[in-house]
Structure 1
Amino acid sequence: MQNIIIIGNGIAGVTAARHIRKNSNHRIIIISAETDYFFSRTALMYVYMGHMKFEHIQPYEDWFWEKNRIELLKGFVSSVNHQKKELLIEDGKVIKYDKLILATGSKPNKFGWPGQDLFGVQGLYSKQDLDLLEVNAPNNKVCKRAVIVGGGLIGIELAEMLRSRNIPVTFLVRENNFWDGVLPEGEAKMINEHILDHHIDLKLSTNLIEILASDDGKVKAVKTDQGEEINCDFVGLTAGVSPNINFLKDSGIHLGKGIKVNKFLETNIKDIYAIGDCAEQLEPTRNRRAVEAVWYTGRMMGETVAQTICDRPTAYKPGHWFNSAKFLDIEYQTYGWVNSLRNKKENESHFHWRHPQEKICITIAFDKDSKQFLGINTFGIRMRHEVFDSWLSEKRNIEHIITHLKDANFDPEFYTHYENDIAEKFNRDFGLQISPKKKQWKRIFAKN
């Protein structure tokens, strides 16, 4: 029996612990300074919005950990000594390990803005951030205006949270459109409109210069590079996240943007592994990013490293890229690669369709020479993961996708059909005559 230490109780670390327990009798200890128990980080916003209580976003009962012999230690690891296989805890305690899994997650980015450490300035990542938000912005009497800095998913989530309590929000986005480092232009512009429709003061091509303090050391305003001074009581810094690895700088573990790992999620030090947001792939597969701060990749890495820990060496193979999110009330899905204008590949062509009235659109990427399907983004239309995953693996062409788009519709019996309109626009754009295939549905009727 070995001593397996996991630093971090997020989805990656907890998944690793669960799968190690399923396959071994090793002693497992999870160390975290954030909370006593694992919780769903993606659901933090719903606690603030009143849809759930914090205990509702903890998927396991408190007795689960003891029953499964997973020990929990609340504490902050200050250093790793790989020669002695020891961890130093901030309170002075030393813990020995046989194998160490680093699952330390991310931390919000700060870029040295003057005033970024004032009272009333925070990010949104941890349980502590959620608690602090209740102090800084409990209602629109305490917080008469909020300013959010950073045009990504965390920023729009925070805007939705604050608006749920009727707090006025100004949203500073340095790019020409919201999330235009990721989204193609047509989609980004549609989300711009949607943000404005929700009474959020969106300021594009605008950078934060300084956060100004009141006499009592609290936030009173921000200055932008457009010469504006915006009065506010709260500033949310949501300009992305980066791997939480500062405590490893003198450990001997190879670091880059994150903790560098091979395909087996091993670091350069024997018996030390890294998974989740903090891991940086030395050889990313299928154009995937070296660091992926995504819930499902953390889960997959946890499952994978558990096999290796249990003497079944297994390479991490995440497959085709996919993701989903919500932009206020618009659902977003992406499969494969649809690059933004600034990141678009030389051979990458895009077909874009948008509904004339509703905030619904798709963009399909394909190779301009071979016509091979590269990826799809959908907004407001729910699609089937397994269908697009197979089309990507089979290297289907764009005409096949348009013809068989109904096959990917998540629930065509209850959702409005758009496939004919999409095909008509595709035919106009590319001078073709493609007719969507009608999907045959088998209906099962209960016998009387």
Structure 2
Amino acid sequence: MEHVVVVGNGIAGVTAARHIRKNSDKKITIISAESEHFFSRTALMYVYMGHMRWQDLKPYEDKFWDKNRIDLVQAYVEKIDSQDQILHMADGQTLNYDTLILATGSLPAKYGWEGQDLEGVQGLVSKQDLELLEKNAPNNEVCPKAVIVGGGLIGVELAEMLYTRKIDVTILVREKGFWSGILPDAEAQLISEHIQSHGIDLRHEEELDKIIADGNGKVKAIITKKGEEIPCNLVGITTGVKPKIDFLEGSGIETDKGILVNKLLETNIQNVYAIGDCAQQREAIGLRKPVEAVWYTGRMMGETVAQTVCGTPFEYNPGNWFNSAKFFDIEYQTYGWVFSSRNKKDYEQHFHWKHPDNTKCITIAFHKKSLQFLGINTFGIRMRHEVLDRWLNERKSIDYVLQHLSQANFDPEFYKKHESYIQATYKASKQTA
């Protein structure tokens, strides 16, 4: 019987295993050093905040795995012998495979700062990171002050987590606005102001220079590149993530930033695949980045590779870009492409509307000449994925989108309608253009 081994039990690896089981009777083993069972990584913050228990993060009952004949091995894969198809574990165990799916995820990216390995310096990606945070910052007596280096989604999540335990937080971001490398300036400014309204000391155009020790191997302060010393008990590193691929050295599996794969998610080694955060596309897929550390793309890759492994070769095609997140009290959604002000395309024009309460706004990107709808960002207003995805596929115009915006409004019974105000603003912008 063919033995399929999946390394990594995140959303990508578990989805692959589930769909292989749906379509075959192959022997399946999932290996993970992080946790015994699959858990919802995006909900880690809610355990620390007291909204959920650890066991609430498991989407499947523990008996699910035996019932579906999926073997679980809790171990760390230290080396891969791709020639003889053997996995070598850190504890000395070995495991043979016929088909190997690498879904090893990502790690916090560090950039060689002095003191980055001190006690009290950490990221927020894994279950172990959450456990370490409980040790480093259980309350504001043990940890009265924290500094978060970098913005983005993990940075704002960590800030909100610490805020719930009344820990004083400073965030250092390189840009003029929060996440302005991704968001247009007006949106970045709105989010910056919202974060600051919660008492967070958000420092724009500021970077970490080095981390200072207290003499006992623990962090006691950081020094910014402007020379300011900020005392702290915790340094959160949220300057992005990188694929976890260090264990592949000598395996013969080709890597760059991540594990190089084609559209079938195949590596250069026969019967070895890579999916999720650790995979890097050899060929560009539209405007998408070659490595995408996003929950739903991992799930899509898992479904895709399962088809190929089960004898029906299927190319990975994630469709239109979309994502969602939460910045404290403001929910964010994005569909299609709305580039930041500094990365804006030559053909791209933006229409922006902001509610007077400064907690709701939208930005719609469209083609300057054809007026084709290219993408939308929404803050504080929920939109329907299926409607916006269809409009992108049908290449509707911005005029059409604005005229029919109510169709995309999510839960109109329970949320105030803003379409008339948005349409009036757009009409006025056209008259003054």
- TM-score interval, smaller chain: over 0.9
1:45-124 alignment runs, 5 A limit: 45-124=45-124
Does residue 425 of the first structure (1) align with residue 430 of the second (2)? Answer: no
Q: Which amino acid aligns with 1:38?
A: F
Counterpart contact for 1:286–1:320, Cα < 8 Å: no
Distance 2:319 2:106 in 1: 23
Counterpart contact for 1:220–1:232, Cα < 8 Å: yes
Once the two structures are TM-superposed, the CA of residue 77 in structure 1 deviates from its matched residue by 0.7
- SS at 1:388 equivalent: helix
Look up the match of 1:165: 165
Counterpart contact for 2:190–2:358, Cα < 8 Å: no
Look up the match of 2:187: 187
Does residue 200 of the first structure (1) align with residue 177 of the second (2)? Answer: no
Gaps of 5+ in 1: 434-448
Once the two structures are TM-superposed, the CA of residue 281 in structure 1 deviates from its matched residue by 1.1
Write out per-residue CA displacement over residues 162-197 of structure 1, whole angstroms, 9 at most, x where no aligned residue. 000000101111111110110000000000100100
Once the two structures are TM-superposed, the CA of residue 432 in structure 1 deviates from its matched residue by 8.3
Gaps of 5+ in 2: none
Look up the match of 2:248: 248
Distance 1:366 1:356 in 2: 24
Look up the match of 1:134: 134
Write out per-residue CA displacement over residues 217-247 of structure 1, whole angstroms, 9 at most, x where no aligned residue. 2111100012210011111111100111111
Look up the match of 1:441: none
Q: Which amino acid aligns with 2:162?
A: L
Q: Which amino acid aligns with 1:5?
A: V
Distance 1:411 1:368 in 2: 32
Look up the match of 1:443: none
Q: Which amino acid aligns with 1:166?
A: K
- SS at 1:342 equivalent: coil
- SS at 2:189 equivalent: helix
Q: Which amino acid aligns with 2:318?
A: P
Write out per-residue CA displacement over residues 90-113 of structure 1, whole angstroms, 9 at most, x where no aligned residue. 112221110000000000001011
Counterpart contact for 2:169–2:201, Cα < 8 Å: yes
Distance 2:390 2:414 in 1: 24
- SS at 1:300 equivalent: helix
Look up the match of 1:446: none
Distance 2:4 2:93 in 1: 17
Look up the match of 2:366: 366
Q: Which amino acid aligns with 1:243?
A: P
Distance 2:134 2:382 in 1: 34
Q: Which amino acid aligns with 1:340?
A: S
Counterpart contact for 1:148–1:238, Cα < 8 Å: yes
Distance 2:36 2:84 in 1: 28
Distance 2:424 2:432 in 1: 9
Q: Which amino acid aligns with 2:302?
A: G
Look up the match of 1:439: none
Write out per-residue CA displacement over residues 242-278 of structure 1, whole angstroms, 9 at most, x where no aligned residue. 1111111221111111111111110111000000001
Distance 1:382 1:138 in 2: 34
Counterpart contact for 1:147–1:232, Cα < 8 Å: yes
- SS at 2:100 equivalent: strand
Once the two structures are TM-superposed, the CA of residue 289 in structure 1 deviates from its matched residue by 1.4
Q: Which amino acid aligns with 2:259?
A: I
Look up the match of 1:314: 314
Q: Which amino acid aligns with 1:261?
A: V
Look up the match of 1:337: 337
Distance 1:28 1:86 in 2: 15
Counterpart contact for 1:426–1:432, Cα < 8 Å: no
Look up the match of 1:24: 24
Look up the match of 1:278: 278
Distance 1:374 1:336 in 2: 6
Distance 2:284 2:51 in 1: 38
Counterpart contact for 2:30–2:71, Cα < 8 Å: yes
Once the two structures are TM-superposed, the CA of residue 295 in structure 1 deviates from its matched residue by 0.5
Look up the match of 1:231: 231
Distance 1:96 1:295 in 2: 29
Once the two structures are TM-superposed, the CA of residue 286 in structure 1 deviates from its matched residue by 2.4
Distance 2:14 2:413 in 1: 38
- Aligned CA RMSD, in angstroms, stands at 1.1
Counterpart contact for 1:148–1:236, Cα < 8 Å: yes
Q: Which amino acid aligns with 2:329?
A: D
Using the size of structure 2 for normalisation, the TM-score is: 0.99
Distance 2:284 2:249 in 1: 23
Using the size of structure 1 for normalisation, the TM-score is: 0.95
- SS at 1:395 equivalent: coil
Distance 2:119 2:91 in 1: 27
Q: Which amino acid aligns with 2:322?
A: F
